[in-house]
Every structure is written in structure tokens, then in C-alpha cells.
Amino acid sequence: MSGTCLGRVLVGTLERNLSASRATLSLGDSVMLHTGAAQVELFVVELRPADEVCVIETELEVDFAASVINEEEQKAAAEAAAKAAAEAE
């Protein structure tokens, strides 16, 4: 799945989640999304025009950035896989 396609899926899931569970988003909030078998946690790092916004009947513009946490987890998983492969030889 391409990044653009995944982004659209996450935005749709985010909009459904927010409309069902929240009236506002605040700077620093996290939102847990369940997308099929995966769970994705999104962190609010910027909001406009204020640090708290109403999300009821609102069109959202969402930008995704790479997560430092995710990058660290991916690096650790890759290192563990390489170590396991080396030990199997």
C-alpha cells in the first residue's frame, strides 16, 4: 500500500474515530486508531488556529510525519532480525 493510500485510510479512520469519541483536539493529545489488524497511535503536534480546536462538523487537514518512536522500534526490530539470521547460520 502506498504512503498516499495509507494516509487516506488513516484520515478516514481518524475522522470516524473523532466523530464517535471526541468534540475537541488539544495540542499533545494522542488518538489510537484501529486499522484492520494494526493499531496506530497518532500524536497531535500542531493545531491551527489555536492549541485546542472543535472537531464537530469540521473538515480536517491532516499531515503525517515520521515518528521517532516508530523509527526506533523499526531499527530495533531490524537489528533483532539480523542477529537471529546470523545466529541461524
Q: Average pLDDT of 35-63?
A: 83
Tell me the pLDDT band of 26, cut-offs 50, 70 and 90: very high
pLDDT band, very low/low/confident/very high, at 20 (cuts 50, 70, 90) = confident
Q: In this model, does residue 88 exceed pLDDT 50?
A: yes
Helices (H), the chain: 3-21, 68-88
The upper half-sphere exposure of residue 74, i.e. CA atoms within 13 Å in the direction of its Cβ, equals: 6
pLDDT value of residue 68 = 65
Are 13 and 61 in contact by the 8 Å Cβ rule? The answer is: no
pLDDT given at position 2: 44
Q: Taking the model in full, what pTM does it have?
A: 0.58
Beta carbons of 26 and 51 less than 8 angstroms apart = yes
Give the Cβ contact number of residue 25 at 10 Å.
19
